């Protein structure tokens, strides 16, 4: 069995980007470790007390069957047009030194003898600055640790663009402006990954209950008037079969020269 480390920017990203895949890997007997760069204290929902979002992440990880959660110690960079100053005790992830941040993750990869690292696509999905940093730090950490294969969670660009157009979901995939200010401009497309370039399309419908429970564990992110919080509230109230329709497939890029025959083969080949 392999050990897989999943690097995420904020508590709740593990549910949204690859919760089904993490539950699937844990159920298959692999050791799943979730590394989170920030405490998510600039989130989409009601901004809770310090520590609340990390506690929610622990509950989410338990729902997915993850063995361990590690907080890398950075502050959430936020996703509005403003770049908040660093808090007194730590740096915001997006402006952390690349080698220093990658060094923290590489230490974890070595300690866990991880063979696979789950990261994000080069755009950081829709372009949140902390998500872009996950891509950069993940790639560098895998180089530093050596012998670690990287897979990048993503979505098919065409599907997201259609959802944004038809479902009027622009607010979900657009950096939010601070309260009282005009909405930020659209991020420069393109987002995510063109469908033809995606290596693995993973059917996670069998793990719908775990994925929905993982999302629901982030109670603070279900509260508040912003569009992402409203959408999450809606998603966690859907019946399981409907949730499976929307969240039953997850997608990964494989930057290695020799992709595996299937997503699960990556983890068995890696041993």
- Binding residues for Zn ion, rule CB under 5 A, total 3
Interaction between residue 13 and Zn ion (CB under 5 A): yes
**Shortest Cβ distance from residue 18 to Zn ion (Å)?**
12
H helix and E strand count, the chain: 9, 7
Give the shortest CB-90-to-Zn ion separation in angstroms.
Answer: 17
Q: Which is nearer to Zn ion, 145 or 175 (CB)?
A: 175
- Span of 11-19, 29-37, 89-97, 220-228 interacting with Zn ion by CB under 5 A: 11-19
Smallest distance from Zn ion to CB 32, Å: 19
In angstroms, give the least distance from the CB of 178 to Zn ion.
17
CB of residue 216 vs Zn ion: minimum separation in angstroms?
Answer: 17
In angstroms, the CA 58 to CA 46 distance is 19
Nearer to Zn ion, 8 or 212 (CB): 8
**Residue 237's CB: how many other CB atoms inside 10 A?**
12
Residue with nearest beta carbon to Zn ion: 10
Which CB sits closer to Zn ion, 93 or 263?
Answer: 93
Question: Which of 13-21, 108-116, 134-142, 154-162 is the region at the interface with Zn ion (rule: CB under 5 A)?
Answer: 13-21
* Residue 9 binds to Zn ion (criterion: CB under 5 A): yes
Q: Determine the Cα–Cα distance for residues 173 and 228; give it in Å rounded to an integer.
A: 9
Examine residue 41 and tell whether it contacts Zn ion (CB under 5 A). no
Tell me the HSE value of 104 on the side-chain side, using a 13 A CA sphere. 18
Quick one: 79 or 157, whose CB is closer to Zn ion?
79
What's the rounded Cα separation, in Å, for the pair 80 and 184?
Answer: 7
CA atoms within 13 A on the CB side of 9: 28
- CB-CB contact of 190 with 240 (8 Å): no
- Residue 10 or 41: the one with the smaller Cβ distance to Zn ion is 10
Tell me how far, at minimum, the Cβ of 271 lies from Zn ion, in Å: 30
Answer for the pair 4, 112: CB distance below 8 angstroms, yes or no.
no
Nearer CB in complex with Zn ion: 10/135 = 10
Q: Cα–Cα distance between 173 and 126 in angstroms, integer?
A: 6
Contact 15, 211 (CB under 8 A): yes
- Is 18 an interacting residue with respect to Zn ion (CB under 5 A)? no
Query: Mind giving me the DSSP string for 42-111?
Result: T-SS----TTHHHHHHHHHHHHHT-SEEEEEEEBP--SSSS-PPPPTTS-BGGGS-HHHHHHHHHHHHHH
Contact flag: residue 10 with Zn ion (CB under 5 A): yes
Contact window for Zn ion (CB under 5 A) among 2-10, 94-102, 145-153, 169-177 = 2-10
Which region among 12-20, 183-191, 245-253, 263-271 touches Zn ion (by CB under 5 A)? 12-20
Stretch (H or E) spanning 5 = strand 3-8
Q: Which residues bind Zn ion (CB under 5 A)?
A: 9-10, 13
């Amino acid at each position: 069995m392999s050990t897989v480390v999943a690097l995420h920017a904020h508590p709740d990203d593990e549910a949204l980007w690859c919760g089904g895949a993490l539950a699937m890997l844990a159920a298959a007997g692999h050791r799943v470790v979730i590394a989170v760069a920030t405490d998510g204290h600039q989130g989409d929902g009601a901004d809770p007390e310090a520590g609340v979002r990390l506690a929610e992440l622990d509950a989410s990880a338990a729902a997915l069957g993850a063995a361990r959660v590690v907080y890398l110690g950075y502050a959430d960079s936020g996703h509005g047009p403003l770049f908040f100053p660093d808090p007194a005790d730590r740096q915001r992830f997006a402006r952390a030194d690349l080698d220093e941040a990658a060094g923290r993750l590489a230490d974890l990869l070595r300690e866990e003898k991880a063979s696979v690292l789950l990261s994000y696509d080069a755009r950081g999905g829709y372009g949140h600055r902390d998500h872009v940093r996950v891509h950069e730090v993940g790639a560098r950490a895998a180089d530093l640790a050596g012998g670690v294969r990287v897979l990048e969670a993503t979505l098919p660009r065409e599907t997201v663009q259609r959802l944004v157009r038809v479902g009027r979901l622009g607010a979900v995939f657009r950096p939010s402006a601070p309260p009282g200010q005009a909405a930020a401009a659209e991020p420069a497309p393109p987002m995510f990954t063109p469908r033809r370039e995606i290596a693995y399309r993973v059917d996670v419908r069998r793990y719908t209950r775990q994925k929905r429970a993982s999302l629901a564990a982030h109670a603070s992110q279900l509260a508040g008037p912003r569009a992402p919080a409203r959408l999450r509230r809606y998603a966690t109230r859907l019946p399981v079969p409907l949730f499976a329709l929307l969240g039953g497939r997850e997608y990964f890029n494989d930057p290695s020269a020799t992709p595996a025959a299937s997503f699960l083969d990556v983890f068995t080949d890696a041993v």
